[in-house]
Amino acid sequence: MINSIRNCIEGFEREILTMEQAKGQGIRDVLNTMGLSHVKLPSSQVIALMDMLTDGITPVSPDIVTAMLTICEGYKKLLFAMAGLLEEGVMNAPAPVDTPPRQETAPQEPDRDDSPPSDASEDDKQASASSGTKAPTPPNDESEHAQQQTNQAIKASSISSIRVDTERLDNIIELVGKLMVTYAVISQAGGAGTQQAASSLRELDLIITNLQTEVNAVRLVPLKQIFVPMHRLVNSLAQKMGKKLSFDIQGDSLALDKTIVESLNEPLVHLLRNAVDHGLEMPEERKAAGKPAAGSVRLSASRRGENAYIEIKDDGHGLDPDRILTKAVEKGIVEPDAELEERDIFRLILESGFSTAAEVTDVSGRGVGMDAVINVIRNTLDGEIDIHSTPGHGSTFTLEIPLSRSANEGIVEALVCRLGQDQFIIPSQDVVEIYVPRPQEVVDLPDGRQTVDVRGHVHTLLRLGDYLDIETDISDMSRAQAVVVRVGELRTAILVDEVLRQQQVVITKFTLPVGEIFSLPILGYGMMGESDALVVDVEALVRSFCAEEPTA
C-alpha cells in the first residue's frame, strides 16, 4: 500500500515538473489530473483565477509550481491517513526517496531556500534518530519563504506596471494636497486681498491644476498591457473548439488609469471567451450560411469625452432573443406574460447564473461569466455595458467606463453639505442633481420608508440625519435639499439641511482603523482649508440603506 500511494503521488509530481520545464504547456492536463479543475467554487472571481491560469493568461510561476507540489504532499498525507499509516511514521521515513523531484527544480530556482533538498533530507535522517518531531520544520520554513516571495512578486508587478516608484508618487500627491489646502486658506482669508494678491491666487490656481494633471498622467497605463495577452487566450480557445478566426485589436495605445486597466482584465477574458464559444459558428455552419469559414473577433478601445469605450465584436450568429427569453422564464427571472423590448431581452444574459449553454464545460455553461463582468463594470468601475446583436451577423458588447478616479484617492470635486451643526462632504462624481423637494412629492410607504418624486422620477428618500443619528435644524421639508446620487443602477435622494458649495477637497484616510471599529459609510475626512469634514462613502451608504430590512 505504501509503494502504491508513493507511485500515484510521484506521477502527479512528474507531470507538474514536466509542465514547468515546458513553460506552462500542459497546465490544463495537470489540473485535470489533480482534480483541481473539478473543484466547485462558489465565487465567480475565484473561478476566473482558475480560468486565467488554464488559458495561459496567468503565467506558471515558481510559486505556483511549489504550491502544486505542496498539494501533492497533502494528497499523500490524506491517503496515508486513510490507510491508517500516519502513526507508523511513513511520511517521514521515505524523505530521501521523495528528493529527486525536488532536485529537478533546484537548478531553475537557485535563490530559493529549498534549493538543496538533499541536505535537508540528511538533516531529517539525523533528526529522526533523536526526535521525530523536527522533520516537519523545513516545509514550514519553505511555505513561509514562498509566501514572502509571492508578496514581493505582487509588489514588484504593481510598481513595474506604471514604471514609477509608488513612494515618490505618494509624496507628489501629498504635496499637491498640501498646496491645494494652502490655496484654500489664502482664498478664504478675504478682506486683506489686493489686486496683486488676486493675480497671484489665479496663477497659483493654474499651477495646482497643471500639477494635478501631471500627477494623474503618471498613473496612466496603455491598454496594450492587457490586450496583447488576449491573443493567446482567443487562439487557444479557437484551436481547442475547432474554430477558425481572425482576432483584431484596435486602440490598444489608449492609456487609462492603472486601477481601471487592472480591473478590466477579468471582464475582457469572459467576454472574449463568450465571443469564441457562443458567438462564432463552426466552419461548416459558416460556409452553409454563406460566410467565410474563418470568423472575426475584434477588441477595440476608444475615448469620447470623459468616458472610455471598450468593444468586443464578433460576426457570428448573434443572440437569439426567443431562446434567451424562454430560458429566462424557465429560471424564473421574468414572468411568462412579460412584454420586453429586444434590448431588454439581451440584457437578461447579465443576470446572475444565467446561461443558455446546453451543457456545462470548462469554457461555458456555469452562468458565472457575465455575472463577473457586470460586477466589475458596474460596481467596481461604476460603468455600464450595452449589447447590440443582429441575428446571423454577430454581436457587439460595449463597455462604457468613466475616466474619473475613485473618490477615495487624493483630490476630488465634492459638495459640502450641512447637517445640523456639522458639515459633510459628498463626492460630486456620484451626484446626479440637487433638488428641493416639496412635501406633496414625498410618499410614506407601508414598510416605513419614504420615496420622493424628482421631476417625474421616483427615488428612495434617505434622511442622512436619521441614518447617522444627527439632529437636524430643518423640520420643514420645503427648506431642505435632496442630493440625488447614482450607484450602479440604484438612485437615491439623500436629504440634507443645506448644500453649502462645491469645491475641491483633499480626502485623507483615518490614521486609526475606524472602518474596522465602527460600521459607518465614511471614507475619511476631507481637508478644505481652514476646516475639515467627514467624507460620505456614497456607495456604501446607498447599498447599506437599501439592504436594510424595512420597518413596518
Q: Looking at residue 408, what is its pLDDT?
A: 53
Q: Looking at residue 362, what is its pLDDT?
A: 53
Distance CA 413, CA 427 (A): 6
Distance CA 64, CA 60 (A): 6
Query: HSE on the CB side for 419, CA within 13 Å?
Result: 25
Question: Dihedral, CA atoms, 450, 451, 452, 458, nearest 10 degrees?
Answer: 180
Q: Looking at residue 135, what is its pLDDT?
A: 41
Report whether 387 contacts 397 (CB < 8 A).
Answer: yes
Q: Looking at residue 284, what is its pLDDT?
A: 92
Q: Looking at residue 181, what is its pLDDT?
A: 75
Q: Looking at residue 190, what is its pLDDT?
A: 60
DSSP state of 377: I
Distance from the Cα of residue 84 to its chain's centroid: 44
Q: Looking at residue 551, what is its pLDDT?
A: 53
Q: Looking at residue 493, what is its pLDDT?
A: 93
Q: Looking at residue 211, what is its pLDDT?
A: 76
Among all chains, which residue has been given the C-alpha cell 498539494?
Answer: 71
Q: Looking at residue 504, what is its pLDDT?
A: 84
Q: Which helix H or strand E contains 158, and what residues bound it? A: helix 137-162
Q: How many CB atoms lie within 10 A of CB 270?
A: 23
Q: Looking at residue 550, what is its pLDDT?
A: 58
- The pTM is what? 0.56
Q: Looking at residue 134, what is its pLDDT?
A: 39
Q: Distance from first CA to last CA of the chain, Å, rounded?
A: 66
Distance CA 155, CA 358 (A): 42
Instruction: Give the CA angle between residues 101, 102, 105 to the nearest 5°.
Output: 95
Q: Which of 83, 153, 71 is nearest to 112 (CA)?
A: 153
Q: Looking at residue 369, what is its pLDDT?
A: 61
What are the phi and psi torsion angles at 494 (to 5°)? -90, 120
Low-confidence residues in the chain, pLDDT < 50: 88, 92-140, 142-143, 145-147, 149-161, 365-367, 552
Q: Looking at residue 301, what is its pLDDT?
A: 94
